[in-house]
Amino acid sequence: MTDIETLQQAVPRLLQWFRQNKRDLPWRHNRTFYTALVAELMLQQTRVEAVKEKYVAFLEKFPTERELALASEDEVMKAWEGLGYYTRARNLKRAAETLFREGTPQTWVGVNALAGVGNYTAGALSSIALGLKEPAVDGNVLRILTRFFADDSVIDDAAKRKFTEVLRAVYPDETADFCEGLMELGAIVCVPNGAPLCEQCPWNTLCRAHLEGREEDFPVRAEKRPRRVEYLNVYVLKCGGKYAIRKREEGLLKGLWEFPNEVSPPPYPPPQGGGMTEPSQGGGMSGDAQGGGMTEPPQGGGMTEPSQGGGMRGATQGGGMRGDAQVVGERASPGRAHPERSEGSHKTDGGLSIQGDPSHALGMTQKGTLLAQKNATHVFTHVEWRMTGYLIETETPDPAFLWATAEEIRQNFAIPSAFKAFRVWLK
């Protein structure tokens, strides 16, 4: 039997298995092209469990492309808060504007042209919402298929193209169930990071890796690039019950509100890597990761489409972390304590003075009292932020920033979870 014939035999088994075993997920109800688009963009890099609630709330606020197209960007960012990867939110709004203006696309090419929609997402939307036989191949699907065929191709764009054509050759009329069935199989049975649950798999009498007992030999991955480390000073400035925030103008997390911060030189002595005892990530994808380091996340298909390249979808639907981004943790013992720092607070008499006077780099000149200090780490796709946060009470509000109460910030400003460790200082 050829590979294609073997896969042809597998298709009806998958469809039957999916219908009997699919999870009850909110985006599987009352589906339209728009709701499928919202779900697909939210699910990039994010765990299913973290998306469920956000998806429902988002659609209550923006039930159709019309409401989303007419909303302000700040409103959309606020509704997206906690999901991370905020470029997705901006892209979703732009895509909604296109749908509102031009109607729903009817071809893969038209879907692929929407903002934020790469090859994988175009395949998923075409199959799920338009009934088109367009495969959606991400790391999740590649993992399943390389196991199924015991194929030791390195997971890259060429493998993606190859398996896209393999799937196209067997794509059934039940496009939505087939596409979602593959996703579901990767999420709950043919899982990454450890042994797949082959005894529950509808393909276990056909899958070559399983028959050879080599499930964990696949997929074969390319070497990963090392992640760049950046050190940041983050200032939570407090004055008269209000806190300073500003909109980030460029790079990673562009357009989002943040605490004033600046890149700093590596501390001396360098902080020890351990001691991350308090993960500051609350129940879900906290990533504000942008796939391309300090650039916007990669979009537009190929293996660079955010989320889909590394099997993250499967990982998250299986209950693990889907995103590239995560807050690793925080530790209370700074690696760069100020020599004059006394227990709990430190007041300078010539302006803020914290190890090398970093406040000056922010242009702050007024006096301040250091109330607290702690370190936290946030991991993006290609960058890791090692942050030292300073809670500082200032005597006058610096007009360079917007000042708001903790409640106003909670209600109106999306502060990325990269800064979550320091948000707890807002009282």
Residues carrying an active site annotation: 40
CA 109, distance to chain mean position in Å, is 25
For position 189 contacting ligand SF4 by CB under 6 A, the verdict is: yes
How many DSSP H helices and E strands does the chain contain?
Answer: 15, 9
In three-state secondary structure terms, 104 is: coil
Using CB under 6 A, which residues numbered 294 to 333 contact ligand SF4?
A: none
Nearer to ligand SF4, 136 or 144 (CB): 144
Using alpha carbons, select from 122, 132, 77, 108 the residue that is nearest to residue 308.
Answer: 122
Number of residues located near ligand SF4, criterion CB under 6 A: 14
| Cβ at position 300, least distance to ligand SF4 in Å | 29
Residue 31 or 214 having the CB closest to ligand SF4: 214
Q: Whole-number minimum distance, CB 141 to ligand SF4, in Å?
A: 11
d(CA 424, CA 427): 7
Alpha carbon 51 to chain centroid distance?
11
**Across 358-419, where does the E strand assignment appear?**
368-379, 383-394, 402-404
Q: Could you tell me the CA-to-CA distances from 147 to 144, 179, 203, 218, 302 in Å, in that order?
A: 5, 18, 11, 6, 21
When binding is defined by CB under 6 A, the residue of 37, 79, 96, 190 that contacts ligand SF4 is: 190
Output 203 or 235, the one with its CB closest to ligand SF4: 203
Reduced to 3 states (helix: H, G, I; strand: E, B; else coil), residue 114 is coil
Which is closer to ligand SF4, CB of 50 or CB of 207? 207
Task: Find the binder of ligand SF4 among 14, 136, 201, 315 (CB under 6 A).
Answer: 201
Distance CA 203, CA 166 (A): 16
In angstroms, give the least distance from the CB of 214 to ligand SF4: 9
Q: At what angle do helices 86-102 and 73-80 cross, to 10 degrees?
A: 130
Interface of this chain with ligand SF4, residues 202 to 241, rule: CB under 6 A: 203-204, 207, 209-210, 215
CB of 212 to ligand SF4, least distance (A): 10
CB-wise, 7 or 76, nearer to ligand SF4?
7
Return the structure tokens found at 138. Answer: 């991400």
- Residue by residue, what is the 3-state secondary structure of 237-298? EEECCEEEEEECCCCCCCCCEECCEEEECCCCCCCCCCCCCCCCCCCCCCCCCCCECCECCC
Given the complex with ligand SF4, which of 55 and 203 has the nearer CB atom? 203
Least Cβ distance, residue 193 to ligand SF4 (angstroms): 13
Nearer to ligand SF4 (CB atom), residue 138 or residue 215: 215
Closest approach of Cβ 186 to ligand SF4, in Å?
A: 8
Residue where the block lists tokens 């790391």: 139
- Cα(379)–Cα(375) distance, integer angstroms: 14
HSE-CB of 11 using CA atoms within 13 angstroms: 20
Beta bridge partners of 388: 233, 375
Q: By CB under 6 A, name the one of 198, 328, 371, 372 that touches ligand SF4.
A: 198
Antiparallel, parallel or unpaired: β 383-394 and 228-239: parallel
Q: Residue 243, interface with ligand SF4 (CB under 6 A)?
A: no
User: Taking contact as CB under 6 A, which single stretch among the options 70-78, 158-166, 195-203, 329-337 is the one that binds ligand SF4?
Assistant: 195-203
Binding to ligand SF4 (CB under 6 A) within 139-168 occurs at 144, 147-148
In the complex, the residues that contact ligand SF4 under the rule CB under 6 A are: 144, 147-148, 189-190, 196, 198, 201, 203-204, 207, 209-210, 215
